[in-house]
Amino acid sequence: RGRITDRNNFPLAVSINQYDLFALKNFSEDDFLKLKEFLLLKKGFNSIKNLNKKVLIFSNLNFSQYEKVKDLKLSGIEIETVQKRYYPFGEQVSPLIGFSGKDGIGLEGLENILNSELSGVDGQKIILRNASRRPKVLKEVIHGSDIKLTIDSRIQFYAYKNLSSFVTANNAKGGSVIILDNISGEILAIASYPSYNPNNPQRKIQRNRALVDAFEPGSIIKPIAIAKGIDLGIFSIDQVIDTNPGFMSLSGRTISDPKNYNNLSIKEVIAKSSQVGASKLALKVGIDGLISAYKGFGISKPPNIFFPGVAYGVINTRENISQHEIASLGFGYSLTASSLQLAQAYSVFANEGYLKDFKIFFDETNVFQKRVIGKDAANDVLESLKLVVMDGTGELAKISNYEVAGKTGTSHKSSSKGGYDQSKYIASFAGIAPLSSRRLTIFVSIDEPGLNNYSGGSVAAPLFAAISDDVLNYLDE
């Protein structure tokens, strides 16, 4: 079976040889005693009496054990090679890579969807029959194709390490991280927690939250709606919006800010994450403009990665949509998206208005891109995202030595009983780092953080900072 490697050829999934030890008809008492000195033979095999056929006495010898057995030069044994799949990075990348079964067929993740490319044809080789005979090949092995990913295992490590630490520290249910290279159009990391050890046969499979979970993103979406309005010439970034008295009523429902922000520039609407300001701007853009914006930024469209259960996201496009629903589209409700989709959407601000189809296979030659908003609108919003970190809801995203930009999100989770569960949130942060090169887009989300500390600004922003600091220092080495 072919290997799966990262961009630097470090193995993420590899087949290794193990060995099965058999006793033959001429297996002697002396052979038995010599083996018993360092091998725990199979349960029930404690005698050589009535041995009239080939019998398995030890399975999955490692190479060290194999060498010891070979050095004994016993006449009554036979060793056959057995291939086993091994995952050197374990739980760090298992929700993406998945695993294969005992028969070598991929069961989860990329091991599953790339099974035909990875699969070879099993062979069989008798390594040792006795001291005087040469190894015998019964059937030649045909190797499967190797698959090289754009994932950087070091960056993946930083993403997973910090994600698992923050999820645990905040008593959260789980979380995800996506890291994109805006310049090359490559996916550098896809982390999901909780995870599992693919090398453990008793593993409890965990889904890849970054790819298969779609959720209402909350305030993360505001800059996209606002960018569309700027691009259409409906308003400008410095235009002032009256948010007095800090709340508004639409379709019989109230939309409110934490306090009365009075008059805000649109740049400040993003920095302060004003619901009232975002609602008024969304109504100006209108339902058609909002749907066009979100679809243009890749929401509700299949991402350029074929993965079991990958989420597309949905947008509320029903007829007779209410004014409140239009407003809620402007602050991140009435639509869903995955972490990957939201990361790709934010890369538009780094790439001056272009959306790329980010790739995960290293040898994929072309990365398709298209313009979805104008350069000026993209740069205006990027400046606003800088203000979010400097003097807004994302101050905890700051890191030393690098200037970054981004946006916080805090969204209620829907309830199985209808409406929203007021005790369950998703905290998120989408950012671009460093601003000097705009190289990376990093999206982080934490599912159901503890109620003492649940906002995107207090939970997700510092996670973004921790990952950014590690990754940027690594890339500058």
| Catalytic sites, residue numbers | 219
Nearest in space to 371 (alpha carbons), one of 211, 221, 220, 227: 227
* Amino acid letter, 159: A
Polymer length of the chain? 477
Q: Could you count the other beta carbons within 10 Å of the beta carbon of residue 256?
A: 15
Ramachandran region, residue 15 (left: φ > 0; alpha: ψ -120 to 50; beta: rest): beta
Instruction: Look at residue 257 and give its three-state secondary structure.
Output: coil
In sequence order, what are the residues at sequence separation of 6 or more whose Cβ sits closer than 8 angstroms to the Cβ of residue 138? 123, 124, 125, 126
DSSP string of 147-190? EEBS--HHHHHHHHHHHHHHHHHTT-SEEEEEEEETTTTEEEEE
Distance between CA atoms of residues 321 and 331, nearest Å: 16
Q: Could you count the other beta carbons within 10 Å of the beta carbon of residue 47?
A: 9
Query: What angle in degrees, to the nearest 10, is found between the helix axes of 222-231 and 375-391?
Result: 140
Distance between CA atoms of residues 391 and 20, nearest Å: 64
In sequence order, what are the residues at sequence separation of 6 or more whose Cβ sits closer than 8 angstroms to the Cβ of residue 359? 150, 185, 186, 187, 304, 367
Distance between CA atoms of residues 319 and 476, nearest Å: 51
Taking 3-state DSSP, the helix, strand and coil percentages for the chain, each rounded to the nearest 5, stand at 35, 25, 40
Burial of 134 (0-12, 13-18, 19+ CB in 10 A): exposed
Work out the angle at residue 475's Cα, subtended by the Cα atoms of residues 444 and 466, and round it to the nearest 5 degrees: 35
